[in-house]
Protein backbone atom coordinates (compact mmCIF):
# COMPACT_ATOMS: atom_id res chain seq x y z
CA UNK A 1 0.00 0.00 0.00
CA UNK A 2 1.16 3.52 -0.51
CA UNK A 3 0.99 5.80 2.44
CA UNK A 4 -0.89 9.00 2.38
CA UNK A 5 1.21 12.13 2.20
CA UNK A 6 1.95 13.73 5.52
CA UNK A 7 -0.86 16.20 6.12
CA UNK A 8 -0.33 19.63 7.54
CA UNK A 9 -1.19 19.96 11.21
CA UNK A 10 -3.47 22.82 12.16
CA UNK A 11 -4.35 22.00 15.75
CA UNK A 12 -1.68 21.24 18.37
CA UNK A 13 -3.68 20.29 21.46
CA UNK A 14 -3.10 16.83 22.97
CA UNK A 15 -6.15 15.27 21.31
CA UNK A 16 -5.17 16.49 17.87
CA UNK A 17 -1.57 15.33 18.36
CA UNK A 18 -2.63 11.90 19.61
CA UNK A 19 -4.87 11.44 16.60
CA UNK A 20 -2.26 12.55 14.09
CA UNK A 21 0.47 10.32 15.53
CA UNK A 22 -1.87 7.36 15.94
CA UNK A 23 -2.73 7.59 12.25
CA UNK A 24 0.96 7.54 11.32
CA UNK A 25 1.70 4.64 13.64
CA UNK A 26 -1.16 2.65 12.13
CA UNK A 27 0.26 3.26 8.66
CA UNK A 28 3.75 2.20 9.74
CA UNK A 29 2.44 -0.99 11.31
CA UNK A 30 0.39 -1.82 8.27
CA UNK A 31 3.35 -1.35 5.92
CA UNK A 32 5.64 -3.40 8.15
CA UNK A 33 3.19 -6.31 8.19
CA UNK A 34 3.42 -6.70 4.41
CA UNK A 35 7.22 -6.91 4.08
CA UNK A 36 7.96 -10.04 2.06
CA UNK A 37 11.55 -9.63 0.93
CA UNK A 38 14.80 -7.91 1.78
CA UNK A 39 13.99 -5.29 -0.87
CA UNK A 40 10.65 -4.58 0.85
CA UNK A 41 12.38 -4.11 4.17
CA UNK A 42 14.89 -1.72 2.68
CA UNK A 43 12.08 0.25 0.98
CA UNK A 44 10.27 0.48 4.32
CA UNK A 45 13.41 1.78 5.98
CA UNK A 46 13.91 4.44 3.31
CA UNK A 47 10.29 5.48 3.31
CA UNK A 48 10.10 6.00 7.08
CA UNK A 49 13.61 6.66 8.27
CA UNK A 50 15.33 8.01 5.15
CA UNK A 51 17.41 11.06 6.09
CA UNK A 52 16.02 13.39 3.41
CA UNK A 53 12.77 11.99 2.12
CA UNK A 54 11.78 9.82 5.03
CA UNK A 55 8.33 10.37 6.46
CA UNK A 56 9.66 10.93 9.97
CA UNK A 57 12.01 13.55 8.64
CA UNK A 58 9.07 15.23 6.96
CA UNK A 59 7.04 15.12 10.16
CA UNK A 60 9.78 16.68 12.21
CA UNK A 61 10.38 19.30 9.53
CA UNK A 62 6.82 20.35 9.00
CA UNK A 63 4.94 19.65 12.23
CA UNK A 64 7.63 20.68 14.65
CA UNK A 65 8.36 23.86 12.78
CA UNK A 66 4.67 24.79 12.58
CA UNK A 67 4.00 24.05 16.25
CA UNK A 68 3.59 26.94 18.66
CA UNK A 69 6.36 26.95 21.28
CA UNK A 70 4.08 25.60 24.10
CA UNK A 71 3.14 22.53 21.97
CA UNK A 72 6.71 21.65 20.90
CA UNK A 73 7.44 19.49 23.91
CA UNK A 74 4.24 17.42 23.65
CA UNK A 75 4.88 16.98 19.95
CA UNK A 76 8.51 16.02 20.51
CA UNK A 77 7.57 13.31 23.00
CA UNK A 78 5.08 11.77 20.56
CA UNK A 79 7.54 12.07 17.71
CA UNK A 80 10.20 10.18 19.64
CA UNK A 81 7.69 7.51 20.59
CA UNK A 82 6.69 7.06 16.95
CA UNK A 83 10.32 6.90 15.87
CA UNK A 84 10.93 4.13 18.38
CA UNK A 85 7.94 2.21 17.09
CA UNK A 86 9.14 2.50 13.49
CA UNK A 87 12.67 1.47 14.40
CA UNK A 88 11.27 -1.46 16.35
CA UNK A 89 9.27 -2.54 13.31
CA UNK A 90 12.38 -2.31 11.16
CA UNK A 91 14.45 -4.33 13.64
CA UNK A 92 11.79 -6.99 13.80
CA UNK A 93 11.61 -7.16 10.00
CA UNK A 94 15.41 -7.48 9.77
CA UNK A 95 15.66 -10.09 12.50
CA UNK A 96 12.73 -12.12 11.28
CA UNK A 97 13.89 -12.06 7.70
CA UNK A 98 11.12 -12.26 5.16
CA UNK A 99 7.59 -11.38 6.18
CA UNK A 100 4.38 -13.30 6.48
CA UNK A 101 4.12 -15.15 3.18
CA UNK A 102 7.67 -16.41 3.15
CA UNK A 103 7.45 -17.32 6.83
CA UNK A 104 4.37 -19.38 6.17
CA UNK A 105 6.15 -21.23 3.37
CA UNK A 106 9.00 -22.05 5.73
CA UNK A 107 6.89 -22.88 8.76
CA UNK A 108 7.15 -26.31 10.34
CA UNK A 109 3.99 -28.37 10.22
CA UNK A 110 3.99 -29.90 13.66
CA UNK A 111 1.23 -32.29 12.70
CA UNK A 112 3.54 -34.16 10.28
CA UNK A 113 5.07 -37.41 11.62
CA UNK A 114 8.60 -36.85 12.97
CA UNK A 115 11.83 -38.56 11.95
CA UNK A 116 11.62 -42.01 13.44
CA UNK A 117 14.74 -43.19 15.22
CA UNK A 118 14.93 -46.95 15.65
CA UNK A 119 15.72 -48.14 19.13
CA UNK A 120 18.64 -50.54 19.13
CA UNK A 121 18.25 -54.00 20.56
CA UNK A 122 20.54 -56.71 21.87
CA UNK A 123 21.82 -59.05 19.20
CA UNK A 124 20.29 -62.51 19.74
CA UNK A 125 23.76 -63.89 20.55
CA UNK A 126 24.38 -61.19 23.15
CA UNK A 127 20.93 -61.77 24.54
CA UNK A 128 21.42 -65.53 24.81
CA UNK A 129 24.89 -65.09 26.30
CA UNK A 130 23.51 -62.69 28.91
CA UNK A 131 20.71 -65.09 29.70
CA UNK A 132 23.13 -67.99 30.25
CA UNK A 133 25.45 -65.82 32.33
CA UNK A 134 22.44 -64.61 34.33
CA UNK A 135 21.48 -68.14 35.31
CA UNK A 136 24.93 -68.70 36.82
CA UNK A 137 25.20 -65.21 38.30
CA UNK A 138 22.05 -66.06 40.27
CA UNK A 139 23.94 -69.04 41.70
CA UNK A 140 26.72 -66.77 42.91
CA UNK A 141 29.10 -67.09 39.95
CA UNK A 142 31.15 -64.08 38.94
CA UNK A 143 31.69 -63.16 35.29
CA UNK A 144 35.06 -62.91 33.57
CA UNK A 145 36.55 -62.38 30.14
CA UNK A 146 39.84 -63.13 28.44
CA UNK A 147 41.70 -62.22 25.25
CA UNK A 148 40.60 -63.48 21.85
CA UNK A 149 44.20 -63.53 20.66
CA UNK A 150 45.72 -66.12 22.95
CA UNK A 151 49.02 -67.92 23.37
CA UNK A 152 49.51 -71.58 22.61
CA UNK A 153 50.26 -72.01 26.32
CA UNK A 154 46.87 -70.89 27.57
CA UNK A 155 44.81 -72.24 24.72
CA UNK A 156 46.45 -75.68 24.57
CA UNK A 157 49.44 -76.50 26.78
CA UNK A 158 48.01 -75.45 30.15
CA UNK A 159 44.71 -77.08 29.18
CA UNK A 160 46.62 -80.35 28.97
CA UNK A 161 46.59 -80.78 25.19
CA UNK A 162 49.60 -82.97 24.34
CA UNK A 163 52.10 -81.48 21.82
CA UNK A 164 50.89 -83.43 18.79
CA UNK A 165 47.16 -82.99 19.46
CA UNK A 166 45.19 -82.56 16.22
CA UNK A 167 43.48 -79.36 17.51
CA UNK A 168 46.90 -77.69 17.46
CA UNK A 169 47.13 -78.19 13.73
CA UNK A 170 46.57 -75.14 11.54
CA UNK A 171 43.89 -77.20 9.83
CA UNK A 172 41.76 -76.49 12.90
CA UNK A 173 43.27 -73.40 14.45
CA UNK A 174 43.83 -69.92 13.04
CA UNK A 175 47.37 -68.88 14.01
CA UNK A 176 49.14 -65.54 13.75
CA UNK A 177 51.78 -65.73 11.01
CA UNK A 178 55.54 -65.20 11.29
CA UNK A 179 56.21 -66.50 14.79
CA UNK A 180 58.38 -69.48 13.96
CA UNK A 181 61.29 -68.17 16.01
CA UNK A 182 59.21 -67.97 19.20
CA UNK A 183 59.00 -70.96 21.53
CA UNK A 184 55.77 -72.87 20.79
CA UNK A 185 54.12 -71.86 24.04
CA UNK A 186 54.45 -68.12 23.25
CA UNK A 187 53.06 -68.27 19.75
CA UNK A 188 49.82 -66.37 19.22
CA UNK A 189 46.61 -67.79 17.84
CA UNK A 190 42.90 -67.00 17.82
CA UNK A 191 41.55 -68.90 20.79
CA UNK A 192 39.62 -71.98 19.75
CA UNK A 193 37.64 -72.12 22.99
CA UNK A 194 37.05 -70.08 26.16
CA UNK A 195 38.74 -72.73 28.32
CA UNK A 196 42.10 -70.83 28.48
CA UNK A 197 40.33 -68.24 30.63
CA UNK A 198 40.00 -70.99 33.27
CA UNK A 199 43.78 -70.90 33.62
CA UNK A 200 44.00 -67.10 33.50
CA UNK A 201 41.39 -66.93 36.28
CA UNK A 202 43.14 -69.47 38.51
CA UNK A 203 46.48 -67.68 38.07
CA UNK A 204 44.81 -64.49 39.29
CA UNK A 205 43.00 -65.86 42.34
CA UNK A 206 43.27 -68.77 44.75
CA UNK A 207 40.30 -71.08 45.29
CA UNK A 208 37.38 -70.97 45.88
CA UNK A 209 36.42 -69.93 42.33
CA UNK A 210 33.02 -69.80 40.73
CA UNK A 211 33.12 -68.02 37.39
CA UNK A 212 31.43 -67.96 33.99
CA UNK A 213 33.25 -66.61 30.95
CA UNK A 214 31.30 -65.61 27.85
CA UNK A 215 33.27 -64.89 24.69
CA UNK A 216 34.06 -65.22 21.02
CA UNK A 217 36.13 -68.09 19.65
CA UNK A 218 37.58 -68.94 16.22
CA UNK A 219 38.19 -72.16 14.35
CA UNK A 220 39.50 -72.86 10.89
CA UNK A 221 36.20 -74.47 9.92
CA UNK A 222 34.31 -74.25 6.65
CA UNK A 223 30.98 -72.50 7.11
CA UNK A 224 27.77 -74.49 6.68
CA UNK A 225 24.28 -74.35 8.18
CA UNK A 226 25.54 -75.20 11.67
CA UNK A 227 29.25 -74.25 11.55
CA UNK A 228 30.86 -70.83 11.49
CA UNK A 229 34.58 -70.00 11.82
CA UNK A 230 33.50 -67.48 14.46
CA UNK A 231 31.17 -68.43 17.24
CA UNK A 232 30.62 -67.91 20.96
CA UNK A 233 30.93 -69.98 24.08
CA UNK A 234 30.15 -69.65 27.74
CA UNK A 235 32.76 -71.36 29.89
CA UNK A 236 32.21 -72.24 33.54
CA UNK A 237 34.60 -73.13 36.34
CA UNK A 238 33.91 -74.05 39.94
CA UNK A 239 36.78 -74.95 42.28
CA UNK A 240 36.55 -75.46 46.03
CA UNK A 241 37.11 -78.11 48.67
CA UNK A 242 34.93 -81.18 48.15
CA UNK A 243 33.42 -80.32 44.77
CA UNK A 244 32.03 -83.54 43.30
CA UNK A 245 30.50 -84.79 40.09
CA UNK A 246 27.10 -84.55 41.83
CA UNK A 247 27.63 -80.80 42.18
CA UNK A 248 28.36 -80.65 38.46
CA UNK A 249 25.22 -82.61 37.61
CA UNK A 250 22.99 -80.60 39.92
CA UNK A 251 24.34 -77.28 38.67
CA UNK A 252 23.97 -78.09 34.97
CA UNK A 253 20.58 -79.74 35.42
CA UNK A 254 19.37 -76.58 37.12
CA UNK A 255 20.90 -74.38 34.40
CA UNK A 256 19.27 -76.36 31.56
CA UNK A 257 15.88 -76.16 33.28
CA UNK A 258 16.35 -72.42 33.77
CA UNK A 259 17.22 -71.95 30.08
CA UNK A 260 14.78 -74.35 28.42
CA UNK A 261 11.96 -74.83 30.91
CA UNK A 262 11.47 -76.94 34.01
CA UNK A 263 10.15 -79.94 32.00
CA UNK A 264 13.59 -80.49 30.46
CA UNK A 265 15.58 -83.53 31.60
CA UNK A 266 19.35 -83.92 31.40
CA UNK A 267 21.62 -86.91 31.00
CA UNK A 268 25.38 -87.19 31.14
CA UNK A 269 27.28 -89.26 28.58
CA UNK A 270 30.91 -90.33 28.95
CA UNK A 271 33.16 -88.23 26.73
CA UNK A 272 36.70 -86.94 26.48
CA UNK A 273 38.36 -83.56 26.90
CA UNK A 274 42.06 -83.19 27.72
CA UNK A 275 41.35 -80.77 30.60
CA UNK A 276 38.70 -82.79 32.45
CA UNK A 277 38.66 -86.26 33.96
CA UNK A 278 36.15 -87.77 33.90
CA UNK A 279 34.52 -85.84 31.04
CA UNK A 280 30.91 -85.86 29.88
CA UNK A 281 28.64 -84.58 27.17
CA UNK A 282 25.38 -83.20 28.51
CA UNK A 283 22.23 -84.03 26.61
CA UNK A 284 18.83 -82.52 27.24
CA UNK A 285 15.50 -84.12 26.43
CA UNK A 286 14.40 -82.83 23.02
CA UNK A 287 12.64 -79.51 23.50
CA UNK A 288 10.82 -79.93 20.18
CA UNK A 289 9.13 -83.31 20.79
CA UNK A 290 9.44 -83.56 24.56
CA UNK A 291 11.61 -86.67 24.19
CA UNK A 292 9.32 -88.78 21.99
CA UNK A 293 11.64 -88.61 18.99
CA UNK A 294 11.46 -86.29 15.99
CA UNK A 295 13.52 -85.08 13.05
CA UNK A 296 15.30 -82.46 15.18
CA UNK A 297 16.63 -85.06 17.66
CA UNK A 298 17.14 -87.68 14.95
CA UNK A 299 14.42 -89.77 16.61
CA UNK A 300 16.55 -90.21 19.75
CA UNK A 301 14.57 -87.91 22.06
CA UNK A 302 17.85 -86.27 23.20
CA UNK A 303 19.94 -83.33 22.05
CA UNK A 304 23.61 -82.92 22.88
CA UNK A 305 24.29 -79.46 24.20
CA UNK A 306 27.55 -79.01 26.07
CA UNK A 307 30.77 -80.51 27.39
CA UNK A 308 31.81 -80.75 30.99
CA UNK A 309 33.83 -82.70 33.51
CA UNK A 310 35.90 -82.66 36.66
CA UNK A 311 39.00 -80.47 36.30
CA UNK A 312 41.99 -82.70 35.45
CA UNK A 313 44.70 -82.67 38.15
CA UNK A 314 47.20 -81.87 35.37
CA UNK A 315 45.37 -78.55 34.83
CA UNK A 316 45.54 -77.77 38.55
CA UNK A 317 49.27 -78.48 38.39
CA UNK A 318 49.71 -75.73 35.76
CA UNK A 319 47.65 -73.32 37.91
CA UNK A 320 49.68 -74.24 41.00
CA UNK A 321 52.83 -72.86 39.32
CA UNK A 322 51.41 -69.40 40.10
CA UNK A 323 48.88 -70.22 42.85
CA UNK A 324 50.06 -73.11 45.04
CA UNK A 325 46.60 -73.41 46.60
CA UNK A 326 45.50 -75.28 43.47
CA UNK A 327 46.70 -78.51 45.02
CA UNK A 328 44.70 -81.39 43.61
CA UNK A 329 45.03 -83.18 46.95
CA UNK A 330 43.21 -80.33 48.71
CA UNK A 331 40.69 -79.07 46.20
CA UNK A 332 38.61 -80.28 43.28
CA UNK A 333 36.41 -78.66 40.71
CA UNK A 334 34.27 -78.94 37.65
CA UNK A 335 34.21 -77.09 34.36
CA UNK A 336 31.83 -76.82 31.45
CA UNK A 337 31.62 -75.13 28.11
CA UNK A 338 28.64 -74.49 25.85
CA UNK A 339 28.12 -73.06 22.39
CA UNK A 340 25.96 -69.95 22.44
CA UNK A 341 24.85 -70.09 18.78
CA UNK A 342 23.61 -73.64 19.18
CA UNK A 343 21.56 -72.71 22.23
CA UNK A 344 20.19 -69.56 20.55
CA UNK A 345 19.27 -71.55 17.43
CA UNK A 346 17.30 -74.00 19.55
CA UNK A 347 15.60 -71.35 21.66
CA UNK A 348 14.55 -69.19 18.70
CA UNK A 349 14.09 -71.87 16.04
CA UNK A 350 16.89 -70.61 13.76
CA UNK A 351 18.17 -73.05 11.13
CA UNK A 352 21.16 -71.16 9.66
CA UNK A 353 24.04 -70.14 11.92
CA UNK A 354 25.07 -67.57 9.30
CA UNK A 355 21.95 -65.53 10.09
CA UNK A 356 23.66 -64.31 13.27
CA UNK A 357 26.53 -62.75 11.37
CA UNK A 358 24.95 -61.53 8.13
CA UNK A 359 23.73 -58.22 9.59
CA UNK A 360 20.39 -58.51 7.77
CA UNK A 361 17.91 -56.22 9.49
CA UNK A 362 14.98 -58.41 8.46
CA UNK A 363 16.46 -61.11 10.70
CA UNK A 364 17.77 -58.91 13.49
CA UNK A 365 14.65 -56.75 13.84
CA UNK A 366 12.74 -59.83 14.97
CA UNK A 367 14.63 -59.62 18.25
CA UNK A 368 13.68 -56.03 19.14
- Interface residue list for ligand DAH (CB under 6 A): 193, 195, 235, 273, 276, 307-309, 335-337
**Nearer Cβ to ligand DAH (195/355):** 195
Contact (CB, 8 A) for 236 and 136: yes
**Nearer Cβ to ligand DAH (287/338):** 338
**Nearer Cβ to ligand DAH (146/337):** 337
Q: How many CA atoms lie within 13 A of 256 on its CB side?
A: 27
b/e 336-348 (16+ beta carbons within 10 angstroms → b): bbbbbbbbbbbee
**Nearer Cβ to ligand DAH (159/297):** 159
**Nearer Cβ to ligand DAH (270/359):** 270
Q: Residue 304: helix, strand or coil by DSSP? A: strand
Q: Residue 110: helix, strand or coil by DSSP? A: coil
* Closest residue to ligand DAH using C-beta atoms: 337
**Nearer Cβ to ligand DAH (124/307):** 307
Q: How far is the CB of 269 from ligand DAH (least distance, A)?
A: 12
Q: How far is the CB of 130 from ligand DAH (least distance, A)?
A: 20
Partnered with residue 215 across adjacent β-strands are 233
Task: Provide Rg for the chain, Cα atoms.
Answer: 42
**Nearer Cβ to ligand DAH (82/202):** 202
Q: How far is the CB of 221 from ligand DAH (least distance, A)?
A: 12
Q: How far is the CB of 191 from ligand DAH (least distance, A)?
A: 10
From 203, 221, 241, select the one nearest 329 (Cα to Cα). Answer: 241
Q: How far is the CB of 338 from ligand DAH (least distance, A)?
A: 8
| 173-175-178 Cα angle (round to 5) | 155
Q: How far is the CB of 332 from ligand DAH (least distance, A)?
A: 13
Q: How far is the CB of 273 from ligand DAH (least distance, A)?
A: 4
Q: How far apart are CA 192 and CA 189, in angstroms?
A: 8
Q: How far is the CB of 254 from ligand DAH (least distance, A)?
A: 17
**Nearer Cβ to ligand DAH (144/309):** 309
Partnered with residue 271 across adjacent β-strands are 279
Q: Going by DSSP bridges, is the β-strand pair 142-143/209-218 parallel, antiparallel, or unpaired?
A: parallel
59 Cβ contact list (under 8 Å, min separation 6): 6, 24, 79, 82
| 36-41-43 Cα angle (round to 5) | 115
294 membership: H or E segment, kind and range: none
Amino acid sequence: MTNEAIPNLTAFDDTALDKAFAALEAQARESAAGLDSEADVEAFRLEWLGRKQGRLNEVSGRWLKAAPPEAKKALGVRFNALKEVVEGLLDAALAGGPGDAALKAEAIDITLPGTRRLTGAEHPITRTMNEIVGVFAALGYSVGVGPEVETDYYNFESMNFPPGHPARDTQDTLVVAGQDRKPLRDRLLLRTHTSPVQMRTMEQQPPPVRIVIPGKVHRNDAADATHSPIFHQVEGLCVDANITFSDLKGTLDHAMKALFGSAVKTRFFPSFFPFTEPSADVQISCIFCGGKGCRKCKQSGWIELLGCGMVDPAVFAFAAEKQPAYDAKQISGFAFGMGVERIAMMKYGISEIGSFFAGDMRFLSQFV
